[in-house]
Structure 1
Amino acid sequence: MVAAPGTVVDLLSRYQPQGAAEIADLARIRALVEAEPDPWRRSIPLHVTASALVVHPDSGRVLLRWHERLQAWLQVGGHGDPGEIDPLGVALREGREETGLTDLTPWPDEALLHVVIVPVPAKGDEPAHEHADLRFVMATSDPVAVRPEKPDAPLRWLSLPEAHEVTTEANLRETLFRAGSLFPAD
């Protein structure tokens, strides 16, 4: 079966994982997308999400968002809307919605940066579940245009060392490490 460009199957078929944890996560996600007609569906215990680490290449800074539910500074991103199948498109839409940055573009290209399965705790009527997160890097040339989506979701521009310091999630530290290798060396 040949996948349509922009689909999860197409993206994962070209991706080269790094390390044992990512190899295992990638295998679980591939099994999910092969078994599920709609792997983005929020009602299944493991579902696909897409996110972006927003960067300002000129200053070498990254943008993190406070996620109230997880009580952590994280990258922007989330669930696909009904009918969305393009992970890069989902990450771009979510990035624009959560940051107010209208000039976001994939950086330095459209490549997938990191694949990780992230546990999400139960909240209200929603049971604990997992996100099969597909992570990209998006750049802005206008960092001062940033506007939080809502008051309880503040945004912070940070240097990579500052971002590592405030980040509590090992999987995001790995994303930051990978993104750091994309910036030119001083």
Structure 2
Amino acid sequence: MTALHADVVGVLTDWKAPSPEQDAARGVFLEHLDLHPDGVWRACRPGHITASTLVVNADRTEVLLTLHRKIGGWLQLGGHCEPGDASLAAAALREATEESGIEGLVLSEGPVQLDRHAVRCHPEGSWHLDVEYLAFAPPGARHRISEESADLRWFPVAALPDSADRVVRSLVRRALEH
């Protein structure tokens, strides 16, 4: 078991789930990690942990979303854990910083929700077990589009794009409650 694997198990074990459904998802994630010592890495075929982050502006009136190149929908920022990530929070912050170009993001103390969704990381398909955080941008933050995005924009929390999925909408609700 790697240090990152142990960190993810610790984060999920200590996390106070906001609903019974989220608590059930946590159980699925922990069971996956128990069965797969490589469960934090993309190479894990049945599925793997990912870290994503919804970036919120300083006054919590806008969220930064990326137009995902493959999916064609507006999503939160995020991706796979990498060997250099010291923790799950570090992976979430790294992904948000790389994909937004914004320095000085402040990550929420812990995850705000979990989402399991099918992906095509392997020819036979697999699952992303996404641990989702919030990050707050400093006042006046300016973003830059990365290679991974077709577009990157701030959206008012009350006017999300039509292609924003249920996960993004739930993250925005949780950001406003946080």
TM over 0.5: same fold? yes
User: Cα RMSD over matched residues?
Assistant: 2.4
Alignment-derived partner of residue 169 in structure 1: 165
Alignment-derived partner of residue 77 in structure 1: 78
5+ long unaligned stretches in structure 2: none
Q: How far, CA to CA, are the matches of 2:86 and 2:114 in structure 1?
A: 16
Q: How far, CA to CA, are the matches of 1:85 and 1:151 in structure 2?
A: 23
Question: Offset at 1:151?
Answer: 7.7
SS at match of 2:90: helix
Q: Among the aligned pairs, what percent are the same residue?
A: 28
Could you report, residue by residue, the CA deviation over 1:159-184 in whole angstroms, capped at 9, with x for unpaired residues? 11112x434421222111111213xx
Alignment-derived partner of residue 138 in structure 2: 141
Alignment-derived partner of residue 67 in structure 2: 66
Q: How does 1:147-158 map to 2 (within 5 A)?
A: 147-150=144-147, 152-158=149-155
Q: TM-score scaled by structure 1?
A: 0.83
Question: Offset at 1:113?
Answer: 0.7
Which residue, 159, 175, 178 being the options, matches 1:179? Answer: 175
Q: How far, CA to CA, are the matches of 1:21 and 1:140 in structure 2?
A: 29
Residue 53 (structure 2) pairs with residue 56 (structure 1):
no
5+ long unaligned stretches in structure 1: none
Residue 26 of structure 1 contacts residue 116 of structure 1 at CA under 8 Å; is this kept in 2?
Answer: no
Residue 77 of structure 2 contacts residue 99 of structure 2 at CA under 8 Å; is this kept in 1?
Answer: yes
Could you report, residue by residue, the CA deviation over 1:16-38 in whole angstroms, capped at 9, with x for unpaired residues? 22334323321110001122222
Residue 8 of structure 2 contacts residue 88 of structure 2 at CA under 8 Å; is this kept in 1?
Answer: yes
- Across the two proteins, how many residue pairs are aligned to each other? 175
Residue 22 of structure 1 contacts residue 115 of structure 1 at CA under 8 Å; is this kept in 2?
Answer: yes
Residue 167 of structure 1 contacts residue 173 of structure 1 at CA under 8 Å; is this kept in 2?
Answer: no
Could you report, residue by residue, the CA deviation over 1:144-167 in whole angstroms, capped at 9, with x for unpaired residues? 52001028531110111112x434
Specify whether residues 153 and 143 from structure 1 end up closer, same or farther in structure 2 by C-alpha distance, changes over 3 A only.
Answer: farther
Alignment-derived partner of residue 11 in structure 1: 11
